[in-house]
Amino acid sequence: MPHPKDSQLLQWKVRQQPSVLNAMSRSSYTAFQRHLQFFATPTNPPRLTFTSALKGACALGLDFPVSAVLSLGLKLLYAPFNLTGINITDIPQSSHRSQLSNTTLPTAKKEFTCSELLRLLNQERNPGFLRHKIDQGHIIGFWSMAANTRTHTVSRDDVERFQHGEWEETVTERRRNSDEILPLWRGGPIWAGGHSFAVDKLLGVQVYRSKRE
């Protein structure tokens, strides 16, 4: 008969196994796959669905209609004929977007404007006109969601995290605070209080919370 402590250890290992497997998988992902993981389901492998992408976009501070358009765009790009979404590991390399991973950031530069980020993109190998335009849209999307709400520049730290596909968590933390509301022209909500209440009730996403909450 197994010792009680052995049974407890076995139960702990079983509980830990999914998180260990997820960490191992994440380390083998490309920067773009790690980026998509934020918008995917917390499964192994992560699955990109309309609902999971909608939650991710709202958590980054985008208005609900803007988030819905972004989620629909991801669905049409990567799983147009699959109602249940697509595993991020099944998205072909040819459909991966640029994370500026092959660019070198200027040593002394601490903040980047949108146009400066686009110039960094030009350092990478030209993938063709259409893919380059899609990559430009991807970079602009990153800038609009990650840039400071007052200076409208992206910090060097955020750009470096973007290069590794791991920028969303830090930005999400900032957007939980009602002091960090995205302006309307960058995809932010018309009424932050109403938006915060609605996405919390509908999606369980906490964003733009007042300091009293």
Select the highest-mean-pLDDT range: 9-18, 129-138, 154-163: 154-163
What pLDDT score does 174 carry?
94
Model pLDDT for residues 35-45, shown as the tens digit of each residue? 999 999 999 99
- Can you say whether residue 95 is alpha, beta or left, with left for phi > 0 and alpha for psi between -120 and 50 degrees? alpha
What pLDDT score does 83 carry?
82
Mean pLDDT over residues 109-132, rounded? 92
What pLDDT score does 5 carry?
46
Q: How big, in percent rounded to 5, are the helix, strand and coil portions of the chain?
A: 55, 5, 40
User: In whole angstroms, what is the distance from residue 117 CA to residue 141 CA?
Assistant: 11
Model pLDDT for residues 131-148, shown as the tens digit of each residue? 999 999 999 999 999 999
What pLDDT score does 3 carry?
53
Model pLDDT for residues 53-99, shown as the tens digit of each residue? 999 999 999 999 999 999 999 999 998 888 889 999 999 998 999 99
- Confidence check: pLDDT of 30 > 80: yes
What pLDDT score does 26 carry?
62
SS3 134: helix
**Which pTM value belongs to this model?**
0.85
Nearest C-alpha neighbor of 90 from the set 51, 139, 36, 136: 36
Query: Lowest-confidence range among 45-49, 69-73, 128-132, 201-205?
Result: 128-132
Confidence label for 124 from pLDDT (cuts 50, 70 and 90): confident
Mean pLDDT over residues 156-169, rounded? 98
Residue with tokens 């993938």: 127
Confidence label for 155 from pLDDT (cuts 50, 70 and 90): very high
Model pLDDT for residues 169-198, shown as the tens digit of each residue? 999 999 998 888 999 999 999 999 999 999
First to last CA, the chain: 51
203 close to 58: Cβ distance less than 8 angstroms: yes
The domain ranges of the chain are 17-203
